A and B are shown apart, each in its own frame.
Chain A
Amino acid sequence: MKPQRKSEPEIDFNAYPDAAGRFGDYGGVYVAETLIAPLAELSATYLKLRDDPAFQAELAHDLKHYVGRPSPIYHAERLSREVGGARILLKREDLNHTGAHKINNTVGQAMVAKHMGKTRIIAETGAGQHGVASATVAARLGLECVVYMGETDIARQAINVFRMKLLGATVVPVSSGSKTLKDALNEALRDWVTNVRDTFYIIGTVAGPHPYPMMVRDFNAVVGREARAQMLDEYGRLPDVLTACVGGGSNAIGLFHAFLNDRDVRIVGAEAAGEGLATGHHAASLAAGRPGVLHGNRTYVLCDDDGQITETHSISAGLDYPGVGPEHAFLKDAGRAEYVGVTDVEAMHAFHLLARSEGILAALESAHAVAQAIKLARELPRDALVLCNLSGRGDKDVHTIAQREGIAL
């Protein structure tokens, strides 16, 4: 960690976003006029609920009894030994109900939807984890649920599509554009513009217009708050490095946020470098993109010189997104977090290594974080602590992996 120069005023990272939903130059509200008033109403409602002890108590109750929180921190001893460096610790979000961190956010947003009297839930999904988590909370509250999913993602995440249907949701295939997460988001926004009066849009990541990047972060920040307390309790100190995969960036900001003002904790986000950053076939918006405007906020985007959003590639559907949450853009520019690329090959290698050394099948998204944790552990001394967010479990990915490795199931 570079020493902080005394002359520079320290940023209080808890002070963001500002009232206009801005994280420095990023974030904001870049949407069609139809959504301006509904977003303002959502902001006002959410801010009121955030300070309401009864709401927070209900949320805490659900996180404990329905989601299964707190999730443990697990010391991956055999993995660490095999890597030969720092100790790798895993925050086990894969053990949550529905198998990923996504449920932290959907439980919270569904409670907001209920308070606003909305009868219909819509969501976009890439890997399907957010779709499943949305269908889950909608089923529990007896709300209609429609999930938009790109045709490409439907093909590679068939298990999650079926799970959503079992939970009573309607899955709408999206055939426009690249047929992946960004197009699903476009289509969900179009639905919301049309049905805004009775519909609540549960965005699954820390992107979209304000207040979504703030609200989704707040609901996922339980991960970092828990982890920080667990570290102090179980290890007597904070970790040296945090790492998490970054697509839209919700699990990453969830882990990072409670540590942002702990300047000695290094923070590294792992983006999907796909076939390699140099090939252009990747989804690393922060590592290889530029500031622009997409899906309602100003952030780093992958686009060509004409400003057209480019198609992305990642083995992992959940990271296959050409934008990123505006708070990550802010953390990058502020130098508080580093964002690096992890290739498909590196993620696959980490997936297998974790499976064989620890008996854990990680989601392909999370395998990017594990790969980064391995890289970091190699560079650090044995007594260093690397805390990696294992954001989801890999059951949904077994078909993709088998196919990639030429195995017929």
Chain B
Amino acid sequence: MNRIDQRFSQLKAAARTGLIPFVTAGDPDPATMVPLLHALVTAGADLIELGMPFSDPMADGPVIQRANERALARKIGLTQVLDMVRAFRNEDARTPVVLMGYLNPIEIRGVEHFIDEAAAAGVDGILLVDCPLDDATLCAQMQARDLHLIRLLAPTSTTTRAHDLAARAAGFLYFVSITGVTGAARADAAAIASQVLSLRRHAQLPVAVGFGVKDAAGALAIADFADAVVIGSALVERLQGGGDAADVCARARDFLAPIRAALDARKAA
């Protein structure tokens, strides 16, 4: 059974809201990356979303753009991303890892080859911003390796489209809370609540909400109607500037732990 499914059923059983931090692989520093991933788990991450650096991240705001640029300047490509996952897996066999990125690096490496490598490294899901719904080959190959292709939904998605996506999705659905790029405006929980609730009823898959969630208050507002909350830019911003492993990990924990505590203090949706 895929770790993502296991994790979401545990969350459901415990009536907890999932917390999904996002970090860009190799940022702030490749050397502190694996300790950072473990620190995220210690601070309460239920699932880790790991960004695969790309030169042209067209759905990302300035914070994650810069993180991509820093990682690329340190020569972090797919090989290094998979190395990080493998190293993380050596000590953590339970926390699901979802890779997030864009299609071109995977296309150039070879889709089939990459899926095999990712599965072998201990990846559980892949989220591709610019991957169209109709890429049947990719879906079939991922299914064969028990990898989940995580689908994004947006406030502009039509009901028909949402149902199509839900029908083909696995693991969880990622609802983009705003029309915008990552880390932009603050998510307006009230505006999307009904869309997310109707999606959860229809899809019978957990729904995570991300983009524009910056702190405990934002996470709590989302937790009223979602299964999990994704926090990316605000965390990446906190980590930029780097430092030694202890320092980077402490900053990650200081940021994430209060959000975890706030989510645990409320009754899950």
The interface of chain A, by Cβ under 8 A from chain B, is 20, 28-38, 176-177, 182-183, 186, 189-190, 193-197, 290-296, 301, 303, 305-310
Q: What are 14 inter-chain pairs, A to B, with CB distance below 8 A? A: A30-B103, A32-B129, A32-B176, A33-B157, A34-B59, A190-B60, A193-B180, A195-B179, A196-B179, A292-B107, A295-B58, A305-B108, A307-B106, A308-B55
> CA A291 – CA B110 in complex, angstroms?
12
Residues on B lying within 8 angstroms of A by beta carbon are 53-62, 65, 69, 72, 77-79, 102-109, 129-132, 134, 151-158, 161, 165, 176, 179-181, 184-185
Beyond A38-B156, A177-B56, whether A306 also contacts B78 by CB under 8 A is: yes
Assess the A303–B108 pair: CB atoms within 8 A. yes
Determine how close the nearest CB of chain B comes to the CB of A21; give it in whole angstroms.
Answer: 10
Q: Which of B60, B102, B103, B108 has the most CB of A within 10 A?
A: B108
**Alpha-carbon separation in the docked complex, A38 to B152 (Å):** 16
Complex CA–CA separation, A294 to B105 (angstroms): 10
CB pair B107 A176 closer than 8 Å: no
Docked CA distance A193–B130 (Å): 13
**A37-B156, A177-B69 given. 12 additional CB < 8 A pairs?**
A32-B59, A32-B176, A34-B155, A34-B156, A34-B176, A36-B157, A193-B181, A194-B179, A290-B108, A293-B104, A307-B54, A308-B53
User: Which of A176, A296, A301 counts the most chain B CB atoms within 10 A?
Assistant: A176
A30 with B131, Cβ < 8 A, contacts A306-B78, A307-B109 known:
yes
- CB atoms of A293 and B181 under 8 A apart: no
| Assembly CA distance A356 to B72 (angstroms) | 47
> A310 to chain B: which residues have CB within 8 Å?
55
Are B152 and A32 in contact, with the CB atoms below 8 A? yes
B108 CB contacts on chain A under 8 angstroms: 290, 292, 303, 305-307
**Contact with B179, one of A189, A193, A294, A303 (Cβ below 8 angstroms):** A193
Q: Complex Cα distance A195/B105, Å?
A: 28
Q: Are A294 and B56 in contact (CB under 8 A)?
A: yes
Partner of B134 from A20, A182, A292 at Cβ < 8 Å: A20
> Shortest CB–CB separation between residue A395 and chain B, in angstroms?
31
Tally of contacts, chain A with chain B, CB under 8 A = 116
When A190-B58, A307-B104 are in contact, do A33 and B179 touch as well, CB less than 8 Å? no
User: Given contacts A194-B180, A194-B184, are A36 and B161 in contact (CB under 8 A)?
Assistant: yes
- A268–B236 Cα gap in the complex (Å)? 47
Give Cα distance in the complex from A195 to B161, angstroms: 21
Specify which chain B residues have a CB less than 8 angstroms from the CB of A36 in the assembled complex: 154, 156-157, 161
Contact across chains for A308 and B54 when beta carbons are under 8 A apart? yes
B181 engages A194 (CB within 8 Å): yes
CB distance from B263 to the nearest CB of A (A): 25
Contact of A189 among B54, B58, B72 (CB under 8 A): B58
- Complex CA gap A308/B152 in Å reads 23
Query: A308 near B77 (CB under 8 angstroms)?
Result: yes
Q: Is the CB of A294 within 8 A of B104?
A: yes
Take A28-B132, A296-B130 as given contacts and tell me if A309 and B152 are in contact as well, using a CB distance cutoff of 8 Å: no
Q: Chain A contacts of B53 at CB under 8 A?
A: 308
Partner of A307, one of B59, B105, B129: B105
Complex Cα gap A294–B158 (Å) = 25
A35 to chain B: which residues have CB within 8 Å? 156
Contact check, A293 vs B58: say whether CB atoms are below 8 A apart. Answer: no
Give the complex CA separation of A395 and B206 in angstroms: 58
B61 x A190 contact (CB < 8 A): yes
Q: Nearest CB to that of B114 among chain A residues?
A: A307
Give every chain A residue within 8 A of B62 (Cβ-Cβ).
176
B58, B65, B104: which contacts A32 (Cβ < 8 A)? B58
> From A178, which residue of chain B is reached at the shortest CB distance?
B55
**Cα distance A309–B58 when bound, in Å?**
12
Bound-state Cα–Cα, A294 to B61, Å: 18
Determine if B104 and A33 form an interchain contact, defined as CB atoms under 8 angstroms apart.
no
A33 to B164, CA, bound (A): 13
B158 cross-chain contacts in A, Cβ below 8 A: 37
Cβ A186 vs Cβ B104 within 8 A: no
Complex contacts, B59 vs chain A, CB 8 Å? 32, 34, 190, 193
Complex contact B104–A197 (CB within 8 A): no
Docked complex Cα distance between A294 and B103 (Å): 9
Which 3 A-B pairs rank lowest in CB-CB distance, beginning with the nearest?
Answer: A307-B105, A306-B77, A307-B108
Q: Judge whether B154 and A197 touch: CB under 8 Å.
A: no
Q: CA A293 – CA B107 in complex, angstroms?
A: 8
Chain A residues lying within 8 Å of B154, measured Cβ to Cβ, are: 32-34, 36-37
Find chain B residues with CB under 8 A from A182 CB. Answer: 56
Residue ID in chain A nearest B174 by CB atoms: A33
Say whether A309 contacts B56, CB under 8 Å. yes
User: What chain B residues lie within 8 Å of A292 (beta carbons)?
Assistant: 104, 107-108
Do B152 and A33 touch (CB < 8 A)? yes
Q: Which residue of B lies closest to A183 (CB)?
A: B56
Cα-based distance from A211 to B181 in the complex (angstroms) = 22
Residues of B within 8 A of A295 (CB): 56, 58
Which residues of B sit under 8 angstroms from A290, Cβ to Cβ? Answer: 108
| Residues of the A chain whose Cβ atoms lie less than 8 Å from the Cβ of B165 | 33
Shortest distance between the CB of A262 and any CB in chain B (Å) = 33
Q: How far is the CA of A380 from the CA of B262 in the complex (A)?
A: 77
B104 interface neighbour in A176, A195, A301, Cβ under 8 Å:
A301
Contact B157 A37 (CB under 8 A): yes
Q: Tell me, rounded to whole Å, the shortest Cβ–Cβ distance linking A133 to chain B.
A: 23
A307: min CB distance to chain B, Å: 3
Distance between A176 CB and nearest chain B CB, rounded to angstroms: 6
Question: Considering the chains assembled together, what is the distance between the CA atoms of A294 and B54 in angstroms?
Answer: 11
Task: Give the shortest distance, in Å, between B137 (CB) and chain A (any CB).
Answer: 13
List A contacts of B79 (CB < 8 A): 306
Partner of A306, one of B105, B156, B180: B105
List, in ascending order, chain A residues with CB within 8 A of B78's CB: 306-307
State the Cβ distance, A243 to closest chain B Cβ, in Å.
Answer: 30
List, in ascending order, chain B residues with CB within 8 A of A193's CB.
Answer: 59, 179-181
Query: B165: nearest residue on chain A (CB-CB)?
Result: A33
Say yes or no: B130 contacts A32, CB within 8 Å.
Answer: yes
Q: Give bound CA distance, A231 to B108, whole Å.
A: 43
CB distance A308 to B156 under 8 Å? no
- Alpha-carbon distance A154/B69, docked complex (angstroms): 22
- The answer to whether B161 touches A176 (Cβ under 8 A) is no
